[in-house]
Structure 1
Amino acid sequence: MVDIVEKDLTIQNEKGLHARAAATFVKTLEDIDAEVFVSRTGQTVQGESIMGLMMLAASKGSVIHIKAKGNEAQKAIDVLTVLINSKFGEE
């Protein structure tokens, strides 16, 4: 059985999910065995796509929905929670 884990998170860094933050998001998932999808305002993109993440236009205070599917789905959610709550290490 494949694990599916979902969580809503609020973008906290000043610049939102811009290019550098999106690249960090993607890099964080590199070695994790899970497929990740990110949604905002009805639009869903793959968590491994920098351009897709930027297209969400998630500014500070935006709530994004993350869905992870795979053997390490919980790990994906956990590391992304830390990343987003730490403001992508920007502040």
Structure 2
Amino acid sequence: MPEIRDSKRPEAVVTVVNRKGLHARASAKFVKLAESYNATITVTRDGQTVGGTSIMGLMMLAAGPGSTLYINASGAEAPEALEALVNLVETGFGEELAGED
């Protein structure tokens, strides 16, 4: 279970577990889910922060399997958005998980 820090801007720390990492299809799923909430989402990897509604931005993070992501949310539905996005990443975006054959 990732750590979700409860503050004015909730943050969660998650690990990418799907085999292909945060590629185009996974990024599109993340963006679609992020856009369904009344919240502003950012994602950080290795000091680089991008908007959670930018497919290209997410892909630029080059987050492969095992990468650590920091997901931040603010706005009226921030806690709900964060929980849903954490679940999406933790379940491998509905794709094959790293280490599966």
TM-score range, shorter chain: over 0.9
Query: Residue 40 of structure 2 aligns with which residue?
Result: 35
Please list, as runs of the form range in 1=range in 2, the aligned pairs for 1:15-30 lying within 5 A after superposition. 15-30=20-35
Q: Deviations over 1:4-50 (max 9, x none)?
A: 21011000000000000000000111220000000001100000000
Higher normalized contact order (CA 8 Å, seq sep 6+, divided by chain length): 1
Give matches, 1:47-86, under 5 Å.
47-86=52-91
Distance in 1, Cα, partners of 2:26 & 2:36: 18
SS of residue paired to 1:29 = helix
Query: Over aligned residue pairs, what C-alpha RMSD do you find?
Result: 0.8
How many equivalent residue pairs? 89
For 1:42 and 1:84, locate their aligned partners in 2 and report how far apart those are by CA, in whole Å: 19
Structure 2 unaligned regions, length at least 5: 1-7, 97-101
Which structure 1 residue ranges, 5 or more long, are not aligned? none
Shift >6 Å, 4+ stretches: none
Equivalents in 2 of 1:54, 1:30: separation in Å? 17
- Aligned residue number for residue 4 of structure 2: none
